[in-house]
Amino acid sequence: MAEARITPRSKDYAQWYQDVIREAGLAEPAEVVRGCMVIKPHGYAIWEKMQADLDRRFKETGHQNAYFPLLIPLSFLAKEAQHVEGFAMECAVVTHSGLKAVDGKLVVKNELEEPYVVRPTSETIIGHFFAKWIDSYRDLPLLINQWANVMRWELRTRLFLRTGEFLWQEGHTAHASHAEAREEVQRMLDVYRDFAHEVMAMPVIQGVKTENERFAGAVETRCIESLMQDGKSLQAGTSHDLGQNFGKAFDVTFQSETGTREHVWQTSWGVSTRLVGALVMTHSDDEGLVLPPKLAPIHVVVVPIWKTDVERTQVCEAAHRIAKDLRGDGLSVKVDDRDNLRPGDKYYEWERKGVPVRIEIGPRDLASASVMIKRRIAPLDANGKPQKEKLPLQDLGPSIGKVLDEFQIELFRRANAFREANTMSVDKWEEFVAVFAGDGSKFVHAHWDGTGETEKAIKDATKATIRCLPLDGQGPAAAPGSCIKTGKPSARRVLFAKNY
């Protein structure tokens, strides 16, 4: 069997993450383009399944897809001061066009009249077009979503979690009232939560960002936060109340029912390919990638086992019949009948790729009209080895469907149990510091006096940040107390953790 190439999580979590991505064939660094990545077919197939499910949910809530230019005039960003300040250091700027050959070398030819910023986010350019499209209250609400790529010139990158270019969706909506816009903000945050729970099998906490963590140019930012296996938090999605800031900057107005001219109220919301990174860090283990069935590009791999040519013919024919039947039940199936690999090497490869269920079929299984299956994370026997299960060939499709449903539920249960075991409330500064000492991190609910100065002081001392002010029911019940750092009065606990 091939030598293990995945660093244990307990030894080096960051290296483990990179190893899992490499061994699963999800992505690799785009070495010729600084800070960017190549998403390989297996990784992109996961993103496609995420896209498909989210796109369905967006359309069910009345949104339509559109596409806006990649290049944004620099003057557009300058119209919203807070916004441009928030993204200024991450912007990539196009200043010239055209190339010409001089002495065998290519040189830039023409300087542009106005520089363009490569899209870091699209509020400004969409604001420009909203102003053209909206005239009356009858044009509202305007509910738009865009699937696109984004460029943010990051100094420190990590595959999927933070790269110079990444893929995402960004929703942009305009409304006649602030109350309606705020309903939209929470509606889409709920969509993200439901997707995380039901499809990713990843528990999340909904909350409101502090002023320091708020999206540049927003009135309020709401988020979903998830706990990774190293105790750090990952912001998995955000939904922003933009108020009338961009409406005023781009003069997006409408005639109200009473005949007055008013600025629209806007929202924006998005998730990105960092969800693939979240998926890796939520479920995977030291053997490789673990995928919930609802996002697995391959649900089942069938491995035929033989010794003679006659047995090979028989079991391979049976394997392909099984695959055809399972595909008829809506499952994605791969038959691994390669001659040049031993069964153990095939098991090794598909476990690293995170395939939820493996079916093994050999001559004895054919004789007994059954197969052996192994779940990607299987119950352990008395010797601590993963157990295999025997299933009859008759009604195999429904049986495998049930196994996949159980596996999806089990992954959420495991992730939720991990989060509960690594969440705590803390009231003493010394205990708070101890939780975050070294590489340590957990979800910590603690009191905060509400000031940006104290927020920064806590971060400087511990590297822990306020991930959010949890919404009702997402954390301990709101009750007054004393700030963990200053001892000043605090209205409620907030959620702290180190973060990605």
Q: Which residues, including other chains, have CB under 8 Å from residue 483's CB and lie 6 or more apart?
A: 447, 448, 449, 454, 489, 490
Between CA 291 and CA 376 the distance in angstroms is 9
Q: d(Cα 427, Cα 120) in Å, to the nearest integer?
A: 39
Domains along the chain with CATH numbers: 13-283 (3.30.930.10), 300-403 (3.40.50.800), 423-497 (3.30.110.30)
Angstrom distance (rounded) from CA 275 to CA 235: 9
Instruction: Give pLDDT tens digits for 65-74.
Output: 999 999 999 9
The pLDDT value recorded for residue 248 is: 96
Q: What is the pLDDT of residues 365-414, one digit of tens each?
A: 999 999 999 999 998 888 888 899 999 999 999 999 999 999 999 999 99
pLDDT digits (tens, 9 = 90+) for 116-131: 999 999 999 999 999 9
- Give me the pLDDT at residue 4, please: 59
What the block records as the tokens of 231 is: 């105790």
- Between residues 36 and 381, the one the model is more confident about: 36
Q: What is the mean pLDDT of residues 426-454?
A: 98
pLDDT for the residue 1: 43
Helix (H, G, I), strand (E, B) or coil at 170: strand
pLDDT at 385: 86
Give the integer Cα–Cα distance in Å for 426 and 464: 13
The residues facing 110 across adjacent strands are 97
Type of residue found at 433 = V
Nearest to 301 by CA among 365, 354, 359, 386: 359
81: pLDDT strictly greater than 80: no
Alpha helices in 329-446 (DSSP H): 343-352, 363-367, 396-421, 429-435
CA distance 16 to 218: 36
- Measuring CA to CA, which residue among 148, 169, 146, 184 is closest to residue 264? 184
pLDDT digits (tens, 9 = 90+) for 130-189: 999 999 999 999 999 999 999 998 888 999 999 999 999 999 999 999 999 999 999 999
CB 35 within 8 A of CB 173: no
Per-residue pLDDT at 85: 82
Mean pLDDT of all residues in the chain? 96
The band of 104, judged by pLDDT with boundaries at 50, 70 and 90, is confident
Which residues does 241 contact at the CB level (< 8 Å), separation at least 6?
181, 182, 185, 218, 219, 220, 221, 222, 267
Q: Which pLDDT score is estimated for 3?
A: 56
Beta strand residue intervals within 51-178, DSSP E: 64-65, 71-73, 93-102, 105-118, 142-151, 165-175
pLDDT band at residue 88 using 50, 70 and 90 as cut-offs: confident
Separation CA 306–CA 342 (nearest Å)? 10
pLDDT above 60 (res 214): yes
Q: What is the mean pLDDT of residues 29-40?
A: 95
Q: Parallel, antiparallel, or unpaired: how do β-strands 333-335 and 357-361 relate?
A: unpaired
pLDDT tens track for 262-300: 999 999 999 999 999 999 999 999 999 999 999 999 999
CA distances for 447 relative to 208, 426, 480, 494, angstroms: 15, 8, 8, 6
State yes or no: pLDDT of 2 exceeds 80. Answer: no
